[in-house]
Amino acid sequence: VIETLQGAHLPASILESEILPTRVLNYRPSDLDILIAAGEVVWVGLDPLGERDGRIALYLSEKLSSLWPAAQDNPTPLNDREQQIIDYLRARGASFFQDLHDGLGGGYPGETLDALWSLVWKGLITNDGLSALRAYCEKPSTSKRGTRRVHNQLSFRSRRTTPPTGQGRWALQSAAFADQQQRATAWRHALAQQLLNRYGVVFRETAHAENISGGFSAVYDVLKAMEESGKIRRGYFAADLGATQFALPAAVDLLRSLRTGAVGQADPDRIEMIQLAATDPANPYGALLRWPAGGDEASSLTRSVGARVILCNGYLTAYLRRGNPALQVFLPEDEPQRSNFARALADFLFHHAQQPDEDTEARGGILITTINGTPVAEHWMSRYLLDAGFTPGAMGLNVRRRLPTLPGVKAESRPNA
């Protein structure tokens, strides 16, 4: 999974709650910890997102030097504290926070901590674990009942004064300090191969979605040379996208089988639903593809952290905003596809709401007040939601949150409405 995601911009706050669990069955944060501690995987900060989040990238250790983009001609300026940290780590190597802070002359720990994270988001230093990153993204609970995030393990209190966001050993991010002139050509070749492995088909919009320095031209010559040598194919494989497209032979064969229906011949009526974070690289909408038209609310759709999309057979079917009970749906105009998609979406929403909540171990629950701006009770899709198991309430249709059953206490039986 990490090999495919290398270099993709991933919000740190949902890395272990949405990005990796979507791809890895029974994902456990300890598995990623082991890979990082063993030196198999490296995480690198890219840019901050507000005060408690940021975009990071994961790399296989042996690929970092080739996939890390070459530095620009105007390097990022550093303040005095940041430069002191760089100099200390260059001289002493990987160091724990307390040793680093004392080595800089002590003082207010918060100043050292702020400088550390500023360097993280500039891609200049990294950490040999994820504990500090998890603590950085941890948001204070607003409820009286304690919550447990998916990544929390047994609590640990340092006997020293190391803050949670300073745990682990800090070290220079080696690729950021390598000879950039020698790396430029190798980076373009590695990046082109990585994009092909991730997407199958690469076109101009891919460079925009990946925020590649230099745009599509950074990899065009490499892709052209690969096509001329017979390693990949060039053609017009995906409609309504850039005319210059390069694809792996296996991807072309898969696209052809989807077009001719060979994949679905065993069950032509099969409907596959999947929910993704709106920022997930596997969600093409808002990056490779435009958001579908659908009124004023559709024009405000964004790939924001916390928002989710539901794809039905690859098509965007629903959009859920973070902490917002308004549901936006995009359904076919023709029957029976319209009814089939609506029924499948209602069943998916109900059953997904029955899954345990990662933060509280309770059943998740969901409330829908409007659909496409219309009160849910007045929308034609409400009958499918009711058939699926939703319950009418004062604010709309909902699936109630189920609290975890305590040992020795018999759960109360509640009939389905």
Q: What is the pLDDT of residues 292-343, one digit of tens each?
A: 876 556 568 999 999 999 999 889 999 999 989 999 999 988 888 899 999 9
End-to-end Cα distance, the chain: 41
Q: Note whether 338 and 344 are within 8 A (CB).
A: no
| Strands 370-371, 326-329: pairing kind | parallel
186, two tokens: 């190798």
Residues 6+ apart with CB under 8 A from 342: 329, 331, 381, 384
- Please state the φ and ψ torsions of residue 167, each to the nearest 5 degrees: -65, 160
Torsion angles phi and psi, residue 15, rounded to 5: -55, -45
What is the C-alpha separation between 109 and 107, in angstroms, rounded? 6
The answer to whether residues 349 and 382 touch, using CB atoms and an 8 Å cutoff, is: no
Token pair 């490779």: residue: 288
Q: What is the mean pLDDT of the chain?
A: 87
List alpha helices for 217-336, DSSP H: 217-228, 249-260, 295-298
User: Of the ranges 147-151, 176-180, 376-380, which is most confident?
Assistant: 376-380
Residue of 335 and 139 predicted with greater confidence: 335
DSSP 404: P
Residue 195 burial (C-beta neighbours within 10 Å; 0-12, 13-18, 19+): buried
Please tell me the distance from the alpha carbon of residue 4 to that of residue 340, in angstroms, as a whole number.
33
**Average pLDDT score over residue span 362-385:** 89
Question: Judging by beta carbons within 10 Å of its beta carbon (0-12, 13-18, 19+), is residue 200 exposed, middle or buried?
Answer: middle
Query: Which tens digit of pLDDT belongs to each residue from 77-94?
Result: 999 999 999 999 999 999
Distance CA 60, CA 42 (A): 6
Write down the residue that tokens 């309430």 correspond to: 393
What interhelical angle do 80-92 and 109-121 show, nearest 10? 80
pTM, full prediction: 0.86
Q: Minimum mean pLDDT among 16-30, 124-138, 395-409: which range?
A: 395-409
